[in-house]
Amino acid sequence: MRGLLRRLSALCLCGFLVLAALPARAVSFPDVKPGSWYEKDVLEMADAGLLTGLPDGTFAPEKTISWAEFVTIAARCAGLSPIQGQTSHWAAGTLEAARLAGWYDWDELPPTGEGFDKPISRQLAVKVLMRALLPHVGYDFNVESAKIKDFSALNGRYYEAVLSAYAAGVAQGDGEGSFRPLDSLSRAESCALIQRARAKAGSQTPASPYGTPGPDEYLPASPGETPPAPAEAIQGGVSENGWLQVVGTQLCNEAGEPVVLRGMSSHGLQWYGQYANAQSIQNTAAYGANVFRLAMYTGEGGCLSQPEPMKSKVIAGVEAAVENDMYVIIDWHILSDGNPMDHVSKAEAFFADMAARYADCPNVLYEICNEPNGNVSWDRDVKPYAERLVAAIRETSPQSVILIGSPTWSQDIHLAADDPVEGENLMYTLHFYAGTHGKDLRDRMDKALSAGLPLFVSEWGASRADGSGGVFLEESKVWLDFLAERGISWCNWSLCDKSETSAALKPGTSPDRAWTEEDLTESGKFVFSQF
C-alpha cells in the first residue's frame, strides 16, 4: 500500500496529465460534510471498498445501521465470504456465514430473516466486530467494567465482547461514559467503531488464546481451612447408593458414605432436547457419568412460553436417567429472567408437581434457580424464593436434595454462607467457566466450605462464561482436581452439538446411537475422560 502511494506520488510529480486522470478520492458522498468528525473514517472505508453508499449516492451518516449492513461491513473487513443463505435477502449469505463462524447466535438473529433489516444493538455490534477482527483480546474484568458507567445495564452474555472491546480501545463510552448496550448505532458511529477495530487488528500480533486467565496454580486460602477430602468417594449409580443425603458439607449416599456425582448438563431443552433422550443419556453413562442435568430454560422460549411441552421433556429425561440408574437434576434454568421471584408462583407449582410425582424416586435432585443475575439480591430475592420453593418441595418430598443458586450467575455463595436457608439436604450451586473464572472463585469456595456451606457445581464449562472461546483444558484440569480433592460433584455444560466450544458433541452428531471419540469435541473428549 505504501509502495503504491509512493509510486502514485511519483507519478503525480511527473505531470498534470497523469494526475488529472486519477481521482483525488475514489469515493465521495454529498452528505458527508468535509471536516465532520466522521469524514475521514467513512471515506477511508469507502476507498478501501468496505462500504458503499445508498442507491441514491448518499451515505446517510445519521441513519441507524441495520444487522445486514453492519455484518456485511464486518465480513468485508475480515475477508469472510458469503455462503448459501436461508432467504433471498441481499445479505442472507453473509449473515449465514457470520452466524456459522460464531460471530453471533441463532437466538440473537435468526437466519429466517425477519431481523436482518432491524437495527443492531451496540452490544451485538461490538460482539460481532470483536469476534470478526479481534477474537484474542483479553481484559481485566475490574479495570474495564469500572470504565462503564451503566455497567449494571449490561447483560452478562456480553461481558466478554464489551469488556475486551474496551480493553482494546475499540468501544468507548458516550459523552457521559455510558455504553448504552441496547441502543442502536448510526452508520457514522459504526464506521468509527470499525475503524478502531481495524487499526487495532492491523497492529496486533496473534496473541495468547482469548481470555486465558493468568498463571493459576491453586493454593489453599490458608492451610487448615480446607475441609478434609473424603477418603474414598464412591461414584456408583442409584442402585448402589440409594437416597442421597448431605452430611456436613459432603454429599453422601444412603449409608452415609461420601459420594461424588459427575455427568453432563443438557443444553436448553427447548433447543437441544433431542440430546436428553435415553440413548444420549446412556452414552454418557457408558463413559462413567452417574448424573444428568435437565436444563429447562424458563425464558428464551422455555417453559414460561411452552409449559406443557417442556414439562414432558423433563419427565422423559427423568425416565431416561432412571432407566440408566443415574441421578438426575431438574433445573429451573432462569437466565435472561435473572430474578427468580419474577415467576415464583409458577416455580412453586412446577416443583410441587415434580416433587409429588417423584416422591418415591431416589434419582431426582431439584435445582430451583439456575443462575440469578442482574438486579437481584440474596436476602431480598433469592433466599426468600428458596424458602418458598423448599417448602413446596418438602410437602411431598421430605428428603430429596435441593440445589440453591445465588446472585451473579450462582457465584455469590459467600452471601449464602453468611445467611443460609434453614433445612436438611440443601446444597448451594457454584457455577464456573474455566476461561473466565479462576483462583478467586476457588478461594471463595474454600471459605464457604469452611463456613459449613455444602456446594454442588451443577454447571461448569471448559469455555469462557459465554459458552464459547478456548477451550481452556489446563484451567479446567486445575478446577476438576480442586473439586475432586474436596469431593464436590459436578455437571458439565453442555451435551449438544451446537457450534460453540462448550458443546461436547461435534455438529451433526446423532442422539440416537452410541458415540465414539470421533463424535466428541475437544471439550467433550476431555470431560468424558473425567467421569
Q: How far apart are the first and last CA of the chain?
A: 55
Stretch of 153-161, 186-194, 243-251, 476-484 contacting ligand DCB, by CB under 6 A:
153-161
459 annotated active-site: yes
Stretch of 228-236, 314-322, 492-500, 513-521 contacting ligand DCB, by CB under 6 A:
492-500
Stretch of 112-120, 208-216, 302-310, 493-501 contacting ligand DCB, by CB under 6 A:
493-501
Binding characters for ligand DCB, 316-345, by CB under 6 A (x = yes):
-------------------x----------
CA distance 459 to 440: 18
- The nearest distance, CB 309 to ligand DCB, in angstroms, is 18
- The nearest distance, CB 107 to ligand DCB, in angstroms, is 6
C-alpha cell at 473: 483444558
- The nearest distance, CB 399 to ligand DCB, in angstroms, is 27
DSSP 226: S
CA distance 368 to 355: 12
Which residue, 352 or 471, is less far from ligand DCB as judged by CB? 471
Question: Which residues, at least 6 apart from 169, have a Cβ–Cβ distance to it below 8 Å?
Answer: 196, 200
Contact criterion met (CB below 8 Å) for 435 and 211: yes
Query: Can residue 459 be called a binding residue for ligand DCB (CB under 6 A)?
Result: yes
Residue type, 254: E
- The nearest distance, CB 297 to ligand DCB, in angstroms, is 7
Residue type, 419: D
Q: List the interface residues with ligand DCB, window 155-194 (CB under 6 A).
A: 156-157, 159
52-60: long-range contacts, CB 8 A cutoff, minimum separation 24: 53/27, 53/29, 57/29, 57/30, 58/29, 58/30, 58/31, 59/29, 59/31, 59/32, 59/187, 60/31, 60/187
- The nearest distance, CB 276 to ligand DCB, in angstroms, is 15
Which residue, 38 or 493, is less far from ligand DCB as judged by CB? 493
CA distance 472 to 470: 5
∠ CA 72-77-82, rounded to 5°: 45
- Of the residues 144, 160, 189, 371, which is catalytic? 371
Query: Can residue 254 be called a binding residue for ligand DCB (CB under 6 A)?
Result: no
Binding characters for ligand DCB, 359-398, by CB under 6 A (x = yes):
-----------xx---------------------------
Query: Can residue 465 be called a binding residue for ligand DCB (CB under 6 A)?
Result: yes
Contact criterion met (CB below 8 Å) for 458 and 491: yes
- How many chain residues touch ligand DCB (CB under 6 A)? 22
Query: Can residue 466 be called a binding residue for ligand DCB (CB under 6 A)?
Result: yes
Query: Can residue 485 be called a binding residue for ligand DCB (CB under 6 A)?
Result: no
Residue labelled with grid coordinates 448510526: 186
* DSSP per-residue letters across 372-430: --SS--IIIIIHHHHHHHHHHHHTT-SS--EEE--HHHHT-HHHHHHSPPPSSSEEEEE
Indicate which single residue of 290, 502, 521, 530 sits in contact with ligand DCB (rule: CB under 6 A): 502
Indicate which single residue of 500, 511, 520, 521 sits in contact with ligand DCB (rule: CB under 6 A): 500
- The nearest distance, CB 436 to ligand DCB, in angstroms, is 6
Which residue, 488 or 496, is less far from ligand DCB as judged by CB? 496
C-alpha cell at 296: 429447562
300 annotated active-site: no
114 to 301, 302, 312, 388: CA distances (angstroms): 17, 21, 30, 41
- The nearest distance, CB 393 to ligand DCB, in angstroms, is 21
Instruction: State which residue has the least CB distance to ligand DCB.
Output: 467
- Give the rounded distance of the alpha carbon of 340 from its chain centre: 19
Indicate which single residue of 105, 189, 381, 446 sits in contact with ligand DCB (rule: CB under 6 A): 105
CA distance 294 to 271: 12
- Of the residues 144, 160, 367, 459, which is catalytic? 459
Which residue, 99 or 196, is less far from ligand DCB as judged by CB? 99
Helix, coil or strand: residue 342? helix
Query: Can residue 409 be called a binding residue for ligand DCB (CB under 6 A)?
Result: yes
Contact criterion met (CB below 8 Å) for 498 and 506: no
Indicate which single residue of 139, 179, 493, 528 sits in contact with ligand DCB (rule: CB under 6 A): 493
Stretch of 17-25, 312-320, 376-384, 429-437 contacting ligand DCB, by CB under 6 A:
429-437
Residues engaged in binding ligand DCB (CB under 6 A):
105, 107, 156-157, 159, 300, 335, 370-371, 409, 431, 433, 436, 459, 461, 465-467, 493, 498, 500, 502
Residues carrying an active site annotation = 371, 459
